[in-house]
Structure 1
């Protein structure tokens, strides 16, 4: 014997304070506020059930009828949701009450099939909706429209282990193999040195590096051109790097003499600069090479930048060609052309 719940407005189990129209076979998309008077819908789409309802032989419990809440068609389908039993007009008590419960059980099976079909086939406006893929509770919520998974923030150049960044002057210097960034600030300069150290030849229990390079803004100078600045700075560079530091300490026994190795124009980061290179002899140790490289700022300022080099002479010092390699590798921040120079290390 076939039994069904008559059409009518019934409390929506998934949306509090809302009623949904039951057409006698399935839930429809028509809703209204709980208790509101509204005309009966004339027609609505008839979703095709996915599966045939199975008669329930035993009386369902309250908990069985409320296993899962009603699922809105725009929510992601996971599995066929169990919904509250559709209301019925059977009489309570005695045989009449048992018959009403049987009617409710069969109606519940119809509701399950109808809602599954509605979630799959219908959108809120009754049009066919594209099913969404089943997700898991741990999946992240989708990002805003237009967002892409491969979007990533611009990398910070100061975190690149292959370059020394002078943020103030807007340049990067390549860090050759066997060199490292230094935490030491010499005259407020950004510095890198050869890895490791050794006991200074002119100071016991004090330690020096075989190679040092530092970048800074040229201050306290009247030089108006890179050439004038390089020729003026080389003496100060020689004094501070191989003669005495700002505290008067002589790590190399002082500079005893020097010879000019190179003085020429050079292109640095796309701008015309100038370099002067000296070979210095010291009171202790093998001496070394000092270079002052001057060029205009890359960030549009009127100031000049000076980069000082100090390479120890002798077999343990860096190859002299490393000065040219580092000079050619200087770039404006954000300029990724070119690359890090060839390996520079003890010969």
Structure 2
């Protein structure tokens, strides 16, 4: 049995000082001042209600206690109906889930349509979040395309990790498990540097050491870095922003070594903080192709940019191996 009240004027659940039109299914934007009930003076304790003094603003009306009782009942009825309307809006239909209940409550409590989120922006963000070929980094306001052979990280303890190659193997140096490919995305908070070139050049050594030299527990999964060489560096378009990257090839004490890249660019959201994306790929036949660094970079877009805005700034990233 439905508890939805019929159309009519009821107390606005988001602003009870006015009445709002309920069309039988949802609140509309029509509001009005309520018809104020006549105030009934309350006599002091022990005084005969018939002898109570009258309000100076309101002459005595006929009916005495009967009138007071009628007004009190009418007021109680208004409050009760408003409560039923609010409850019906909150509860919704019986077959709605918890998410539907939350959405309905938010809609009923809103004072204006402007307070609601943009349907197109919400739909775009939701579509990207549900796309299995895309990783959404809400903190930095970007999405990254997942190339073939890459997956979203799950049950992985490393911070800022946005994509990985599936599977692990025994590290060639100190005991532990290593992974062939990892991509990180992090916000620059350590300094106020705004130059993508300076950020990338200053970060590349840390990026190499964090992956191939020493781990968080001071272990050396690859027996340390023995040497490195710059493979490529330069300007690159990242979404609608100019970025800069530096790519190293490192030789390790154990194992095939690897390729490391630091990519820096400005976010398009919030305070437009600088973002660093780090790439760490094992070298050798079992490692991911270095060209995936290019593909991932070209697939970076601002959140909500379904059409894509990459290109037109800087140069392309050059060839992989």
Task: Tell me whether the two structures share a fold, i.e. TM-score over 0.5.
Answer: yes
Q: What is the match of residue 199 of structure 2?
A: 229
Q: What is the match of residue 132 of structure 2?
A: 161
**Per-residue deviation, 1:160:** 2.1
Cα distance in 2, alignment partners of residues 317 and 287 from structure 1:
10
Q: What is the match of residue 181 of structure 1?
A: 152
Cα distance in 2, alignment partners of residues 196 and 307 from structure 1:
22
**Per-residue deviation, 1:301:** 1.7
Query: What secondary structure sits across from 2:293 in the alignment?
Result: helix
Change (3 A) 1:336 1:162: same
**RMSD between aligned alpha carbons?**
2.2
Please list every run of at least 4 consecutive aligned residues from structure 1 whose deviation after the TM superposition is greater than 3 angstroms: none
Cα distance in 2, alignment partners of residues 316 and 255 from structure 1:
19
1:201-216 superposed matches below 5 A: 201-204=172-175, 206-216=176-186
Specify which structure has the higher proportion of helix: 2
Deviation digits for residues 93-118 of structure 1, max 9, x if unmatched?
xxxxxxxxxxxxxxxxxxxxxxxxxx
Q: Is 2:202 aligned against 1:258?
A: no
Assess if the C-alpha contact under 8 Å between 1:276 and 1:292 holds in 2: yes
**Per-residue deviation, 1:199:** 1.2
Change (3 A) 1:284 1:225: same
Q: Which has the larger radius of gyration?
A: 1
Structure 2 residue runs without a partner (length 5+): 1-118, 310-320
Match of 2:259 among 289, 295, 306: 289
Assess if the C-alpha contact under 8 Å between 1:166 and 1:190 holds in 2: no
TM-score normalised by L of structure 2: 0.55
The aligned length equals 188
Cα distance in 1, alignment partners of residues 283 and 209 from structure 2:
16
Match of 1:309 among 279, 290, 302: 279
TM-score normalised by L of structure 1: 0.51
Deviation digits for residues 241-288 of structure 1, max 9, x if unmatched?
111122212111111110011110001011000000000000110100
Assess if the C-alpha contact under 8 Å between 1:269 and 1:298 holds in 2: no
Structure 1 residue runs without a partner (length 5+): 1-150, 340-346
Cα distance in 2, alignment partners of residues 305 and 262 from structure 1:
20
1:184-199 superposed matches below 5 A: 184-186=156-158, 188-199=159-170
**Per-residue deviation, 1:219:** 1.9
Q: What is the match of residue 53 of structure 2?
A: none
